[in-house]
Homo-oligomer: A and B are copies of this chain.
Amino acid sequence: MSEIRYQYDVVVVGAGHAGTEAALAAARLGAKTALLTTNLDTVAQMSCNPAIGGIAKGQIVREIDAMGGVMGQAIDATGIQFRLLNRRKGPAMHSPRAQADKKAYQWWVKLAVEDQPNLDLRQEIVSDLLTEEVDGKKRITGVSVHGGVVFAASRVVLTTGTFLSAIMHVGETKTPGGRGGEGTSSGISSALHRLGFRLDRFKTGTPARLNYNSIDFSQTELQPGDDEPQPFSFLTEKLPGEQMPCHITHTNEKVHDLIRANLHRAPMYSGEIESRGPRYCPSIEDKVVRFTDKDRHQLFLEPEGYNTREVYVNGISTSLPRDVQDAMFKLIPGLENAQIMRYGYAVEYDYCPPDQLWPSLQTKEVTGLYFAGQINGTTGYEEAGAQGLMAGINAALEGRGEEPLVLGREQAYIGVLIDDLVTCGVDEPYRMFTSRAEHRLMLRQDNADRRLTPLAQQRGLLTPQRWQTFSAKAQQIDAALATLTSTRHQGTLLSDLVRRPDSEWEQICELAPSLKTISAEAALQVTYDLRYEGYVARQQVEVERQKRLSHKRIPESFDFTRLTQMRHEAREKLVRVRPTSVAQAERISGITPADIALLLVYLDGRMAPKSS
C-alpha cells in the first residue's frame, strides 16, 4: 500500500461550529486549508437547541461577525425568530438571540465553506495525530485518517466537540457516540494521551424532540419574535425570513414527583455518570433536585425550522429512561398527547483542560497544535465558534511568522472567554455570562464592530465590502461627534443635550441638520458614547484599582455565603475554599476577574452582605 500524503498549511479536524469558523478564517488569511470531518451531512449541525445567541452569547456572535466570521450571517439568512433579550435593561445587557431553521443553517454554513477559496472540505475520519521532536520539543506534522492517508501540515486545529470517547446515556442504556445516531472518535483521545495531554470528562444533555402536530397549543402561551427584528451581522440589511412563534408551557409538582421517584434511574444520580455537566443548562432532574423551592419550570417549545415538524423542548434536557420521559410529557399541559420523535439523552465525553493552552489557543505541549471549541471544556455554539475563529486566525498567522492575535479582556467577550479558559481552566462546562466580563459596559453587542473590525482589518481578515461598510459608519460617527461637541443650542453643547436620558435624536437633528444624513446605527453609537462615557470611565478605574488590590487579605470571619450578588458557581467555590487573600481567590479555578471585582466591592463594605 503506497503512502498517500496531502500537503496543507493548516488542517482543521471536525466541521462543527468551531471547525467551520477556524477553517474559514485560516483560508481567508491565505493558508491552504483542509477541513476534515466525519460526515459532510453534519457540517455545522446544532447538536442541541436550534438557536444562536442569547445573553452574553449574542454579544459573542456580534464579535465573531465583526471579525469576518460567518455565524452572524448564517443565522440572519436562516433564522425563524429574532429577539433582542434584556431590551428594557441598559445597552450592555442587550443580547440578540434567534431561533434557527436548523437544517437550513447547516447547509448555509456548508455552502460558505464550499465556496471559500483555499479551503478543501473533505469527509474523513481522523484517527491519529502525527508529531516529530525538534530540539526536545514535540511539533505537529499532520494527522492520519481512516484508510492510512496522511494530511501533512505544520498547523493542526482540533475541534472535535463532544465526540472524543463519547458515551450516550438514556436511563440505564448506554450507546457509544457523540450525538444521537452518530459515532465516536477514540483514536484522537489515545493520541492526546500518548502526547502527554491531561484529559478529563464532562457531560451534557439534550431534551426530547416532539412532533408539532401532536401538541395542543391552546394550553400554551404564545411567544412571538420582535416586531422589528434586528439582524446579527453588521452586513445584513434585511432579514429574509418570516417570523415563527415559539410557545411556553411549564412543568408542575406532579412532574417533579415523578422525577424524584425515578431519580435512582437517572445516570447522573445512579452513579453511572460521574463527570460534571453545565450548571447553567441543568437537566430537569438537576433542576428538581437543586431548586426544591420552585413548583414549576418554564419550557419553551421551539420549532426546528420552516419545513419540519420537529419541536425542541427547551428546559427539559434529561437522561431519564424512556418510560419516565413518556410519563413526564403526559403530565405537562399541552404535551399530554405529544409524540416523541427523539428521546432526550446525556453524553459523556473527553475534554482537554484548557490550562494546557497558550492564549493563542496553541497547546503548550505540542507546537503547531491548536484546540478550539467543546474540546476545551466549553459549551455552546457561540463559545465554540469564537474559539474556532481565533485558533484558525492564529494557526494561519503563525504560518506567516506573525504574532498571534490575542484579544484583551477589555476588548471583547472573546478575550474574556479565552483568558478565563487558559488562565483559570475549567471544572465544569464553561459558558459565557455578562458577569464574567469586568469591562462589560464597554463590551456591548452594538459596538462589536468598533471594537474589533479595525483589528481584523489589520490582519487581513476582512472582505473589502465589510471594511467599506464599517469605514462609512465610523466616518459618520466621527463627523457627528465633531458636530455635537462644537455646536451649542441656547448655550448648551449639543453633546450635553444628547447625554440627557430623555433626549431624542430627531430633536437634536433639528438643531444641527447635518446630523440627519447619518444612519440609525451610527446615531445609536454616538448617543451611547456620550451617555455611557462616565460609567465606562468609572468601570475602567475600578478595574485598575482591583488589579492593585489583589494582595488584600480576607478576614477569617468573612461569610462568603452572603455574597448574594455573585454567580452561584463562584460563590459555591469561595465557600468551599475559603481563601484568605484576594490573590488566593484569584487562583481558584473557575473564579474570574469579574468575580474578584465583585468580591472587592463586598470587602470594601461598599455592598453589604445580605443577612440570611
Q: Give residues in A with beta carbon < 8 Å to B.
A: 1-2, 4, 38-42, 45, 103, 107-108, 110-111, 114-115, 120-123, 146-149, 170-173, 175, 180-183, 209, 211-213, 307-310, 321-323, 326, 339-343
Contacts and interface: CB of A to CB of B under 8 A. Distances in A.
Nearest to A148: B173
Nearest to A45: B41
A40 B41 CA distance: 12
6 contacts: A1-B172, A39-B182, A103-B103, A108-B307, A115-B213, A122-B342
A115 B342 contact: no
Given A181-B40, A339-B120, A4 B322 contact: yes
Contact of A342 (B123, B149, B182, B183): B123
A339 B40 CA distance: 14
A40 B122 contact: no
Contacts of A1: 171-172, 321
Contacts of A149: 322
Given A1-B172, A339-B120, A340-B122, A39 B180 contact: yes
Contacts of A175: 146
A172 to B, nearest CB: 6
A341 B308 contact: no
A170 B1 CA distance: 12
A591 to B, nearest CB: 40
Given A120-B339, A323-B2, A308 B39 contact: no
Given A39-B180, A122-B340, A183-B183, 7 more contacts: A103-B107, A114-B310, A123-B180, A123-B343, A146-B175, A147-B173, A149-B322
B323 A107 contact: no
A12 to B, nearest CB: 15
4 closest pairs, A vs B, by CB? A39-B181, A114-B309, A147-B173, A123-B342
Given A107-B307, A147-B170, A308-B107, A181 B123 contact: yes
Given A146-B175, A309-B111, A41 B181 contact: yes
Contacts of A110: 308
Nearest to A177: B183
A107 B107 CA distance: 12
A179 to B, nearest CB: 10
B111 A342 contact: no
Contact of A114 (B115, B123, B211): B211
Nearest to A111: B307
B310 A40 contact: yes
A410 B575 CA distance: 83
A398 B114 CA distance: 50
Contacts of A322: 4, 147, 149
Nearest to A122: B341
A147 B326 CA distance: 14
Contacts of A40: 181, 209, 310, 341-342
Nearest to A326: B4
A378 to B, nearest CB: 24
Contacts of A38: 181
Contacts of A183: 183
Nearest to A6: B326
A114 B173 contact: no
A123 B339 CA distance: 12
A64 B443 CA distance: 59
A310 to B, nearest CB: 7
A45 B41 CA distance: 11
B180 A111 contact: no
A467 B309 CA distance: 27
Nearest to A323: B4
A107 B212 CA distance: 15
Contacts of A180: 39, 123
A107 B115 CA distance: 23
- Which of the listed residues A172, A212, A322 has the most CB atoms from chain B within 10 Å of its own CB? A322
Contacts of A114: 211-213, 308-310, 341
Contacts of A340: 122
Contacts of A339: 120
A104 to B, nearest CB: 9
A1 B326 CA distance: 15
